[in-house]
Chain A
Amino acid sequence: GENVEQHPSTLSVQEGDSAVIKCTYSDSASNYFPWYKQELGKRPQLIIDIRSNVGEKKDQRIAVTLNKTAKHFSLHITETQPEDSAVYFCAANSGSARQLTFGSGTQLTVLP
């Protein structure tokens, strides 16, 4: 089955700096790669996703890049703000039912 690895597990940045979280996947048939944000005590919520037919997607301060050849994708957050502090999960679809396999999460802390 699919295996998704996510790094780093924790990341601290100064407010205004950029943050990058990286994930690798194993199933070359995967074609959908979402990123979820989970604030403390809350449920995960989708913040951005990318499909395999594009290499980059942006939405205001967040962007995701995908390298299908290397089987890795990354989340980029620019001009970080304290409210960006949360756990971020990457995921990839897999299997006959196209279920999502999640990475282990990255705790992002934005220091004021």
Chain B
Amino acid sequence: EAQVTQNPRYLITVTGKKLTVTCSQNMNHEYMSWYRQDPGLGLRQIYYSMNVEVTDKGDVPEGYKVSRKEKRNFPLILESPSPNQTSLYFCASRAAGSSYEQYFGPGTRLTVT
């Protein structure tokens, strides 16, 4: 089954404790992105990657890091989480070419206290 998976689905952590949210897709997609969803603000892109070892900042990259060492994986790293990073996070992937359809993961609900 074609899918995008994320782990963990729920995470409660404390300020300053490094964490990683994993994202994996099995569709051989070139493009992968991370979004955060906050009430009234929609989906805002954090980082995206066009292929292995190619990443770039989205609209709200501050406080986040990413890496793309393998085509299928695109982890999101918060090295020193703060309460304003409490949010719902979605990973998404799409194929290169003329189709822009994005496939979203199930989401990760992060709470930073």
Interface residues of A (CB under 8 A from B): 1, 6, 9, 32, 34, 42-46, 49, 89, 93, 97-105
Q: B104 near A99 (CB under 8 angstroms)? A: no
Q: A103 near B48 (CB under 8 angstroms)? A: no
B56 contact set on A, CB distance < 8 A: 97
- Contacting residue for B44 out of A32, A34, A49, A102, CB 8 A: A102
Q: A6 near B105 (CB under 8 angstroms)? A: no
Q: A43-B106, A104-B42 are in contact. Are A99 and B33 (CB under 8 A)?
A: yes
- What class of interface size applies to chain B in its complex with A? 20 to 34
Q: A99-B45, A103-B42 are in contact. Are A44 and B101 (CB under 8 A)?
A: no
Q: How far is the CB of B42 from chain A (nearest CB, A)?
A: 4
A103 contact set on B, CB distance < 8 A: 42
A1 contact set on B, CB distance < 8 A: 59
For the complex of A and B, list the 3 residue pairs with the smallest distance between their C-beta atoms, beginning with the closest: A104-B42, A43-B104, A102-B43
Q: How far is the CB of A47 from chain B (nearest CB, A)?
A: 11
Is B107 among interface residues, defined by CB-CB distance under 8 A?
Answer: yes
Q: Can you spell out 12 A-B residue pairs with CB atoms less than 8 angstroms apart?
A: A6-B42, A43-B105, A43-B107, A44-B104, A46-B101, A99-B33, A100-B100, A101-B59, A102-B35, A104-B41, A104-B42, A105-B42
Q: How far is the CB of B100 from chain A (nearest CB, A)?
A: 5
Q: How far is the CB of B18 from chain A (nearest CB, A)?
A: 26
Q: A97-B48, A99-B45 are in contact. Are A104 and B102 (CB under 8 A)?
A: no
